[in-house]
Amino acid sequence: MSDISVPPAAQPLEPTPPPERPVWRIIRDFRRSPLALFGLALLVVIVAAAFLAPWITPQNPYDLRSLSIMDSRLAPGEVGFSGTSFWLGTDGQGRDMFSAILYGLRISLMVGVIACTSALILGLTLGLVAAYFGGRIDTLVMRLVDLHLSFPPILVALILLAILGRGLENIIFALIIVQWATFARMARATALSERGREYIEAAQSLGLSRTRILFGHLLPNCLPPMMVLYTVEIASAIALEATLSFLGVGLPATQPSLGLLIANGFQFVLSGQYWISVFPGIALLLLIVAINLVGDRLRDVLNPRNIT
Amino acid sequence: MVYVIRRLLQAVFLALVMSFLVFTGIFAVGNPVDILIDPEATQAERVRLIAQLGLDRPFHEQYFVFLGNVLQGDFGNSFVYNRPALGLILERMPATLELAFAAIVIAVVLGIPLGMYAGLRPGTAGSQTVMAGSILGFSVPNFWQAIMLIMIFAVMLGWFPVSGRGQVGEFMGIRSSLFTVNGLQHMALPAINLAIGHLALVIRLARSGTQEVKAQDFIRFARAKGLSEPRIVLVHLLRNILIPIVTLVGMSFGGLIAFAVVTESIFAWPGMGKLIIDSIRQLDRPVVVAYLIVIVVIFIILNLLVDLLYSLIDPRIRLDGAKQ
Amino acid sequence: MSLLEINNLQTHFFTSGGVVKAVDGVSYHVDRGEVLAVVGESGSGKSVTGLSVMGLIEEPGRVVGGSIRFDGREIANLPAHEMRKLRGARIAMIFQDPMMTLNPVLRVDTQMVETIHAHREMSKSAAWALCRDTLGRVGIPAPDERMRAFPHQFSGGMRQRVAIAIALLNKPDLIIADEPTTALDVTIQAQILHLMQGLVEEDGTGLVWITHDLSVVAGFADRVAVMYAGEIVEQATTDGLIEAPQHPYSRGLIGSVPSRNRRGARLAQIPGGAPPALNRPQGCRFAPRCAYRLAGCDAPQTLRNNVRCWRADELPAFEEVPA
């Protein structure tokens, strides 16, 4: 007579393989999308080119002495007065477009990264603090954030710059003010959902100090969605800076960003000399698209439900 | 009804807060005397204005003077045009509003069907094109798109005029350039330019909404009832994805008015946006202040409308919101 | 001729990880006025069978073999528009989770009336009245008001009643109920069962009741089909199965239901779990967990006398003996 509750002939269950570390999974899933890889490659090329600009460009577009008005408005590929050929043509003042674009990318990237990173740090800190301490601090921060976010970024930046005037520091400051709220809101939302989890309770019951819990435990777990937001916002920052420079309230003429180049070239479009506006625009476009492709895929990868 | 009243009160409170912030902003940035009074005014003018605006009185009294003036619509005169600032803005508002309206219509009428298509048939060449297009749509900076549009459609192809607003027609008591052919021709490029960024967003939202909703049980149940596919898509699916889209559209109407700044500048469209950019460049501060307040009011009204619209579409909000 | 006759049905899912044979050669039938319970754990394929009958299997799944005959007509791979005419009209389905079965943004009357209009002509007022009367029939109080309400204003049990009402609207010959009471409280469960019983007797509808909970089945179903890992392992009348289960898995199921005879005794369990769908044993699929396993169990098993176990006759008689 056999007893159903005792399994003499049951096979042992197969051991399940250990789960792979999250970082590897993220990298593996990211690699699955050819579009994202393309975006990443493009991004690397652009950043490298911008970084190496002083060494690889034939001309320093900021150095007024190296410009010759005789070379102005040459079409792409034409040879200039001095004998050098300008691959992408020249602008109204004789600047080599290729050099100007690379230097412009450099500025755009620098402004974008600095502003966005600072906004990230500021927003992350405020969001975490608001979520962790709750109560009045939370309400205060959130009201501020809501107020901030109900206005379109460009308007806020415009007004700020109208008051502060042009200049590199002012632009970066304006961008930080525009962007911190998005980071703060995301940080707070993530922190709130993490705060209720058990590992936080465990840390608390171990008597760890609040600072340690906040920065050692809560922070690392809030980072993934923040990273996705970061990539999106960098693209935003770069686009916003370009727009502001285009409108004439951004970077001054001594530090020509891509926006200013495009603005300068606008007047020539009507007479068919398209390259002065179009090429910087394409460069800007490629940069932003590359960032967005990478960010898009990163977002899908970090949220497992979306994997195709 | 209680809900509506509560929201109205919140809106008024918000407006007050904003006006206070703007006021403190002016104060904090520099001497309000310089900001509100034309630097080229005569000494006598200055004395008169200082008294009228109360700039020699304590801070909180100044605020009430300011508030009083604002409520009467008096922002001072523009330095450049020497006319009341508010009047200037209100003059230009219809042009901006009609542009924003046209852009929203384009974004929604094109965006929802395209997004739904991409969501219902993922993986097809068509839907991948749509999605790739949408990435381009919100990546490409607004101003560059405008330049490209002008270059291709106005300069090279000559289909549309390069800039400016067309003739104004009248319909049911409203004057707008939407009502004349010439007006529409002039509006086409700027409206498309303004619309593209939001079109991309609407497409993505419609697509993700469609993907999420079509996997839900009630869609399967609708199929199990033997309903036709068109009905399932147009009634069951669409109603469910409308909610986030309405929110987006509502919010972005405000953003459209803001982005109009760029579009109007490039296309020389005589709206509020162009006015504000010129004013900022020319340091015409009364206009800037007036614009800020007007924008604040518009935003608050918009938010209110979106909330109300939201509660109409999603019955769960309507009935539960009253209890809160 | 049976109302529904499934013969050697095979429904496979072609996923990137491999082919999942969710339904691997299943046969059963239901007659008019009869209640067939299909019992099995998650992953046994019982729901997929029901969905296959309704033609609701979507990519990456497909009915790849076998036949489904409804009222004598082959419907296994019927063209979509033909299938649509049957669904909701002659064959109706009820799903498990009443929260998500009804569209949250549409009113109840909209969702009911559209079911009628999808299949026949009827004036709006007549259709509305029919829906209201059906709501009353399934035990929803104040049906006039309830018609105008939205799904989230109903409790779970009420919503399921609404789903049942919708199923009844076009007087179907067959209803497939996929775990309709699993998500509900036990007391509500009993009410719904009672309701279904009454309706089925009144209308003479055939009912396929899919569940993982055996205790629901007794006293309600006429016959039971037990499914495991995509196959039917035993089919019998309800009384027959409960008194004398033949297949070791059925024995485990019956044995693990707490009953009054065994108060205080340890509950029997079936150790282990069902094999992963992509990696099933070649022979008897239950063998890894079976207490009566012998070498001969490694060969593929067929149904003999409605039991998929070559040793069934040799097994000791089933007794409800505590451990």
Which DSSP state fits B291? H
Model confidence band, residue A225 (pLDDT cutoffs 50, 70, 90): confident
The kind and range of the H/E element at B212 are helix B181-214
Helix axis angle, A34-51 to A22-31, nearest 10°? 100
Contacts of A9 in chain C (CB under 8 A): 290-293
What pLDDT is stored for residue B267 in this prediction? Answer: 86
In whole angstroms, give the CA distance from residue C42 to residue B190.
Answer: 58
Q: Which residue has the higher pLDDT, A234 or B28?
A: A234
Cross-chain residue pair C114–B228, CB shorter than 8 Å? no
Residues of A with CB under 8 A from a CB of B: 147, 150-152, 154-155, 158-159, 161-163, 235, 239, 242-243, 246-249, 259, 262, 266, 269-270, 272, 274, 277-278, 281, 284-285, 288-289, 292-293, 296, 308
* Chain A residue with minimum CA distance to B265: A247
In whole angstroms, give the CA distance from residue A58 to residue A74.
Answer: 16
From the list A147, A285, A289, the residue facing B144 with the nearest CB is A285
Model confidence band, residue A82 (pLDDT cutoffs 50, 70, 90): low
Tell me how many residue pairs between chain A and chain C have CB atoms under 8 A apart: 37
pLDDT at A308 over 60: no
Between CA B194 and CA B200, with CA B199 as vertex, the angle to 5 degrees is: 115
Contacts of A246 in chain B (CB under 8 A): 141, 143, 262
| Ranges of chain B whose pLDDT falls below 50 | 320-324
The kind and range of the H/E element at B49 are helix B43-53
Between CA B245 and CA B249, with CA B248 as vertex, the angle to 5 degrees is: 85
User: Which of A10-19, A270-279, B235-244, C156-165 is most confident?
Assistant: C156-165
Q: Which residue has the higher pLDDT, C124 or C291?
A: C124
Q: Which residue has the higher pLDDT, A21 or B127?
A: B127
The pLDDT mean for chain C works out to 84
What pLDDT is stored for residue A11 in this prediction? Answer: 46
Token pair belonging to A93? 């003042």
Q: Which residue has the higher pLDDT, B285 or C20?
A: C20
In whole angstroms, give the CA distance from residue A239 to residue B138.
Answer: 10
What pLDDT is stored for residue A5 in this prediction? Answer: 44
pLDDT at C253 over 70: yes
- Domains belonging to chain C, first-starting first, are 1-90+173-261+268-273 (3.40.50.300), 101-169 (no CATH)
pLDDT at A307 over 50: no
Computed on alpha carbons and rounded to an integer, the radius of gyration of chain A in Å comes to 26
In whole angstroms, give the CA distance from residue A108 to residue C67.
Answer: 66
Model confidence band, residue A67 (pLDDT cutoffs 50, 70, 90): low
Contacts of B13 (CB under 8 A, 6+ apart): none
Q: Tens of pLDDT along C31-78?
A: 988 899 999 888 888 889 999 998 888 878 888 989 999 988 898 888
| Minimum mean pLDDT range among A226-235, A238-247, A299-308, B280-289 | A299-308
End-to-end Cα distance, chain B:
13
Contact predicate C48/C61, CB 8 Å: yes
DSSP secondary structure string, C157-171? HHHHHHHHHHHHTT-
Tallying the residues shown for chain B, one arrives at: 324
Tokens 């007065």, residue? A81
Conformation bin of residue B133: beta by default, left when phi > 0, alpha when psi is -120 to 50: alpha
Contact predicate C74/B242, CB 8 Å: no
What pLDDT is stored for residue B36 in this prediction? Answer: 58
Q: Which residue has the higher pLDDT, A71 or C249?
A: C249
Token pair belonging to A147? 């107020």
In whole angstroms, give the CA distance from residue C18 to residue C279.
Answer: 10
Work out the minimum CA distance from C236 to partner chain B, whole angstroms. 29
User: Any idea of the CA torsion for A262, A263, A268, A273, to the nearest 10 degrees?
Assistant: 0
What pLDDT is stored for residue A6 in this prediction? Answer: 41
Work out the minimum CA distance from A298 to partner chain B, whole angstroms. 15
- Give Dmax (Cα) for chain C: 68
Mean of the pLDDT values across residues A144-165? 77
Q: Cα separations (Å) of A205 from A86, A133, A215, A217, B255?
A: 68, 17, 17, 13, 47
What pLDDT is stored for residue B50 in this prediction? Answer: 67
In whole angstroms, give the CA distance from residue C20 to residue C280.
Answer: 10
Q: Cα separations (Å) of C50 from C1, C20, C47?
A: 20, 17, 5
pLDDT at A10 over 50: no
Nearest to A304 by CA among A24, A16, A20, A25: A25
Q: Tens of pLDDT along C256-300?
A: 766 645 566 666 677 777 777 777 877 788 877 887 777 777 777
In whole angstroms, give the CA distance from residue C175 to residue C208.
Answer: 6
In whole angstroms, give the CA distance from residue A96 to residue A87.
Answer: 8
Token pair belonging to A43? 């991004």
Mean of the pLDDT values across residues A198-219? 74
End-to-end Cα distance, chain C:
45
Model confidence band, residue C209 (pLDDT cutoffs 50, 70, 90): very high
Say which amino acid occupies C182. T
Between CA C1 and CA C7, with CA C4 as vertex, the angle to 5 degrees is: 95
Instruction: Please count the CA atoms within 13 angstroms of the CA of A36 that sit on its side-chain side.
Output: 16
In whole angstroms, give the CA distance from residue C77 to residue C20.
Answer: 19
Cross-chain residue pair A4–C252, CB shorter than 8 Å? yes
Work out the minimum CA distance from B224 to partner chain C, whole angstroms. 6
What pLDDT is stored for residue B318 in this prediction? Answer: 59
Contact predicate A76/A121, CB 8 Å: no
Sheet bearing C73-74, strands edge to edge? C18-30, C4-15, C61-70, C73-74
* Beta-sheet pairing, C61-70 with C35-39: unpaired
Tell me how many residue pairs between chain A and chain B have CB atoms under 8 A apart: 99
Cross-chain residue pair B147–A262, CB shorter than 8 Å? yes
pLDDT at C159 over 80: yes
H-assigned helices in chain C: 46-54, 80-86, 98-101, 108-117, 124-137, 143-147, 156-168, 186-203, 238-243, 248-255
pLDDT at A2 over 50: no
What pLDDT is stored for residue C197 in this prediction? Answer: 85
Q: Tens of pLDDT along C172-192?
A: 999 999 888 887 888 888 888
Token pair belonging to B225? 């009832």
ipTM of this complex = 0.77
- Domains belonging to chain A, first-starting first, are 33-49+94-306 (1.10.3720.10)
From the list A9, A11, A13, the residue facing C291 with the nearest CB is A9
Q: Tens of pLDDT along A249-282?
A: 777 777 778 888 888 888 777 777 777 788 888 8
From the list A155, A266, A292, the residue facing B135 with the nearest CB is A292
* DSSP-based three-state secondary structure for C24: strand
Cross-chain residue pair B281–A246, CB shorter than 8 Å? no
Q: Tens of pLDDT along A113-139?
A: 999 999 999 998 888 888 877 778 888
